[in-house]
Amino acid sequence: MAVSSARIAGRRVGNAVFVGACVLVTVLALAALAAILWSLASQGVGGLNLAVFTKSTPAPGSPGGLANAIVGSIMLGLLAMAIAVVIGILAGTWLAEYAGDSRYGSAVRFLNDVLLSAPSILVGLFVYEILVAPFGGFSGLAGGVALALLAAPVITRTTEDVLKLQATALREAGVALGTPVWRVIGKILWRSGASGIITGALLAFARISGETAPLLFTALNNQFFSLDMTKPMANLPVVIFQFALSAYDDWRRLAWAGALIIAVSVLGVTIIARILSQEQKRS
Amino acid sequence: MSIASSPTVGPSPRRSAPRGASFEPVFKALCFAAATALLASLGGVLVSLVIGGWPALARFGVGFLTTSTWDPVKEVYGAAGPIVGTLITSALALAISLPVAGGVAFFLVELCPSVLRRTIGTAVELLAGIPSIVYGMWGLFVFAPFFSRHVELPLMAAAPPGSLMETLVQGIPNGSGLLSASIILAIMILPFMAATLRELLMTVPPQVRESAYGLGATMREVVMTVTLPYVRRGAIGAVMLGLGRALGETMAVTFIIGNSHDFPKGVFDSGSTIASTIANEFTEATSPMHTASLIALGLVLFLITFTVLALARLMLRNQARL
C-alpha cells in the first residue's frame, strides 16, 4: 500500500512538472511574439509619417520616404500573383480532376509539396540564371517571376484540396446535363470552391510579400521612382535590408517603418484569409 | 467526359454536340501544362544550379566541400565553413525549438481552456506569418544587445580558464554569432512546428485519449505513451519540415550570424551559413569563379534540403495532408 501510494505521488509530481513545463513554454512563445510586435510597433510608428508614402528613398541625411519601394513591391506582388494564380489554379485543377492516381500525378503532387518549402534563395538563383544573366540586367520582371514561383505551389495545393472536397454529385449533375467537363469545372466547381481558392491565393500573397532573398538577385533595387518592369525595381524588403544594415539613423528609422508596413499588411491579409476560411467551414 | 461525348440516345437522335465540347481537350492540355510547368521549375532549379556551379566544382573537386579557405582575392574557394555553419545552426535551432513546440501543442490540445484555445492558436499561427526580415531586424537591434549583456558576458566571465566551457563560449560578445542565429531560427520555425503538431494531435480519435484517461493515466502519460506515439510518423515529418525551413532560411540569419567564413570556434563566435553567404556576396561577386562557387554552394544547399523535405513528405504522406 505504501509503495503504491509513493508511486502515485511520484506520478503526480512528474505530471505536475510536465504540465508546468508546457504552460511555461507556451508563455515563453507568446512572450516572444509580444516582444517582436512591441519592437515593431514602438520603433516603426515613430518613423511613420506622410513623407514615407509620398517621397522616394533618400540619400543618407536628407529627408525622404519609401514611396518608390511601396509601389515597386505592389507591382512585383501583382505581377507574381497574376502568373501564380493562373498556373496554380490550372495545376491544382489538373491534380484534382484529371490526374487521378496516375504516377505522373503523384510525382507532381509530391514535388509540388517539396517546392512549397524549398529555400526561396535558390529560386532567386534559378531566376537569375534564366532571366537576369542572359538578358544582361536585373529587372522587375525577373523579380515578379521569382515571387510567382514561390506563390504558385501554395495555390496549387489549396486548389487541389478545395476541389477534392466538392461533392461528386455536383460533377455528375453537371455532366448529366450534357455539359462538357471543363465548363462543369469552371461554372460549378470553381464557383463553389471560390472562397477556399481565394484563401489560398491570399496566403500565397502573404508569403511572398515579405520575401527578400529571391529579390536580391532579380529585381535588385532602385533608388528612384520607376514603373518600368524591365529595369531594376525598388521594393520594400530589399530597401529594408539595405537600410537596416546601414550606419545612418534616418535610414534605420525608415527600415523600421518599412518593416511595420510589411508586417501589418501580411498580418492583415492572413487574418482576412482566416475569416474567409472560417465562413467557408460554417456554410 | 465519356458520358458527355457518347452517342446521344432518346427522342432527338440528331442532337448536336454540347456547346464548347471542342474546348475540352484544350482545357485539359492547359491544366496539364500548368502542372508540368511546376515540375519543370523544380527541375530547372537543379539544372541551373549544376550548370552555374560546374566551373567551381570541376576546379576544386571534393576540396570544395572539405576545405574552409574562402578567398575571393586569391580565387580559392572552400565551402566547409558555411556548410558546417548551416548544419550547426539548424541542428541547434531544432534542439531549442522542438521541446517548446511540443509543449505549446500539448498545452493547446490537453490543457487550454476552450475560451483561450482559439486566441492562442491564432496568435501562434500569426507568428508564422511574420516575414523573416522582421525577425532579422529584431534579432540584430533588440535581441543581440540583450543577449550580449545578459548571457554572453556573464557566461564568459564565469567560465574557468582552460576549461571546455571557456573554449565553447569564446568569441566577440557583441550578441551576434552562431547561438544567437540558432535562437532566432528556433523562434521562426516554432509556430510552424507547434501548429503542425497540434493539428496532428487533434486527429487522435477521442476514444483513444479518453480510454487512457479513464484508466487513470496522468496527462503526461497520455501524451507520451498514447497520443504522441499515435501520430509519430507525422510528428517526425513535421519536425523535418521545420528542419528544412531552418536550413534554407536566409534573411534572419544574415542579419545576426556575423558573416565570417572561417570555421566557428565556439557558439558565440561569428560564422556563416550557405544561404547567408549567397545573400551577402552574390550581387557583389568579383569574378566568374566567385559567382560559380556561390552557385555551387546553392547546389549543396539544394541537395541537403531536398533530401530532408522529401523524407519529411514521405513521412507525412499517410497522415492527414498538412
Q: Is A20 found in the same domain as A123?
A: no
d(CA B289, CA B292): 5
Q: Are residues A172 and A262 in the same domain?
A: yes
Q: Look up residue A252 and give its three cell numbers.
A: 534605420
Q: So what's the pLDDT on residue B321?
A: 46
Mutate which: B16, B19, B42, B304, vs A, most A CBs within 10 A: B42
A181 and A229 in a common domain: yes
More confident residue, B163 or B36: B36
CA distance A37 to B225: 37
Could you tell me how many CB contacts below 8 A there are between chain A and chain B?
267
pLDDT in tens, B161-185: 777 777 777 777 778 888 999 999 9
| Residues B84 and B72 sit within 8 Å (Cβ to Cβ) | no
Nearest-neighbour CA in chain A from B79: distance (Å): 17
| Per-residue confidence (pLDDT) for residue A3, from 0 to 100 | 59
A14 lies in the same domain as A110:
no
Dump pLDDT digits (tens) for B118-127: 888 888 777 7
Q: Per-residue pLDDT for B69 more than 80?
A: yes
Under 8 Å between Cβ of B169 and B152? yes
Gap from A63 CA to chain B (nearest CA, Å)? 22
- Say yes or no: A56 and A39 in one domain: no
Contact B313 A213 (CB under 8 A): no
Q: Do A56 and A140 belong to one domain?
A: yes
* B 94-123 residues inside an 8 A Cβ radius of A: 99-100, 103-104, 106-108, 110-111, 120, 122-123
B81 close to B265: Cβ distance less than 8 angstroms: no
Which range, of A26-30, B31-35, B115-119, averages the lowest pLDDT?
Answer: B115-119
For residues B128 and B244, is the Cβ–Cβ distance under 8 A? no
Min CA distance, A22 vs chain B (Å)? 4
Do A143 and A76 contact (CB within 8 A), yes or no?
A: yes
Residues B198-221: b if buried by 16+ CB within 10 A, e if exposed: bbbbeebeeeebeebeeeebbbbb
d(CA B270, CA A108): 40
Q: What is the pTM of this model?
A: 0.87
- State yes or no: pLDDT of B102 exceeds 70: yes
For A91-105, A170-184, B65-79, B189-203, which range has the lowest pLDDT when averaged over its residues? Answer: B65-79
- pLDDT at residue A121, rounded to an integer: 92
- In angstroms, the separation between the Cα of residue A279 and the nearest Cα of chain B is 15
All residues of chain A having their beta carbon less than 8 Å from the beta carbon of residue B19 are: 180
* Closest-CA residue of chain A to B3: A175
Give the side-chain half-sphere CA count within 13 A for A20.
Answer: 6
The three-state DSSP-derived secondary structure of chain B is CHHHHCCCCCCCCCCCCCCCHHHHHHHHHHHHHHHHHHHHHHHHHHHHHHHHHHHHHHHHCCHHHHCCCEECCCCEECCHHHHHHHHHHHHHHHHHHHHHHHHHHHHHHHHCCHHHHHHHHHHHHHHHHCCHHHHHHHHHHHHHHHHHHHHHHHHHHHCCCCCHHHHHCCCCCCCCCHHHHHHHHHHHHHHHHHHHHHHHHHCCCHHHHHHHHHCCCCHHHHHHHHHHHHCHHHHHHHHHHHHHHHHHCCHHHHHHCECCCCCCCCCCCCECCHHHHHHHHHHHCCCHHHHHHHHHHHHHHHHHHHHHHHHHHHHHCCCCCC
- What pLDDT shows up at residue A2? 55
Q: What is the pLDDT of residue B2?
A: 45
What's the mean pLDDT in B64-75?
A: 84
For residue A67, count CB atoms less than 10 angstroms from its CB and return exposed for 0-12, middle for 13-18, buried for 19 or more.
middle
B281: its cell numbers: 556576396
CB contact under 8 A, A156 and B244: no
- For the stretch B264-316, pLDDT in tens is 777 788 888 999 999 988 888 878 899 999 999 999 999 999 999 888 888 87
**Digit-coded pLDDT (tens) for A188-216:** 999 999 988 998 999 899 889 888 888 98
CATH code of A129's domain: 1.10.3720.10
* Other beta carbons within 10 Å of A82: 12
Query: Do A94 and A171 belong to one domain?
Result: yes
Same domain membership, residue A244 and residue A134: yes
Mutation target vs B (from A125, A211, A239; most B CBs, 10 A cutoff):
A125
The DSSP H or E segment spanning A216 is helix A213-216
Residue range B59-316, CATH number = 1.10.3720.10
Smallest CA–CA separation between B38 and chain A, in Å?
A: 7
Among B33, B110, B124, select the one facing A29 at the smallest CB separation: B124
The amino acid occupying position B286 is: T
Q: Of the candidates B95, B46, B75, B23, which has an alpha carbon nearest to the alpha carbon of residue B246?
A: B95
- Name the residue among A22, A114, A179 with its Cβ closest to that of B309: A114
pLDDT above 70 covers what percent of chain B?
94
Q: Are residues A132 and A24 in the same domain?
A: no
Q: Give A 76-115 residues with CB within 8 A of chain B.
A: 86-91, 93-95, 97-99, 107-108, 110-115
**pLDDT tops 50 at residue B1:** no
| Closest CA of chain A from B27, distance in Å | 6
By Cβ distance, the residue of A25, A99, A244 closest to B103 is A25
- Given phi > 0 = left and psi -120 to 50 = alpha, else beta, which region is B160? beta
B190–A29: do the CB atoms touch at under 8 Å?
Answer: yes
ipTM: 0.87
Window 157-216 of B: residues touching A by CB (8 A cutoff) are 187, 190-191, 194
How many domains, chain A? 2
Residue A281, pLDDT > 70, answer no
Mean pLDDT of B50-71: 88
- 31-50 of A, contacting B, C-beta below 8 A: 32-33, 35-36, 39-40, 43
Range of the domain at A195: 52-282
A106 plus A233 within the same structural domain: yes
Residue A184 to residue B226: CA distance in whole angstroms: 45
A95: nearest CA partner in chain B: B35
Segment holding A282, helix H or strand E: helix A249-282
Same domain, A155 and A243: yes
Out of B32, B99, B127, the one facing A94 most closely (by C-beta) is B32
| pLDDT for res B183 | 93
Other CB atoms within 10 A of residue A134 CB:
8
Nearest CA in chain B to A15: B220
Task: Report the b/e string of A3-13 with b at 16+ CB within 10 A.
Answer: eeeeeeeeeee
- Please indicate, yes or no, whether residues A66 and A25 belong to a single structural domain of this protein: no
Q: What is the mean pLDDT of residues A94-114?
A: 90
The distance of A227 to chain B (nearest Cα, Å) reads: 22
Packed helices A2-47 and A249-282: angle between N→C axes, nearest 10 degrees? 120
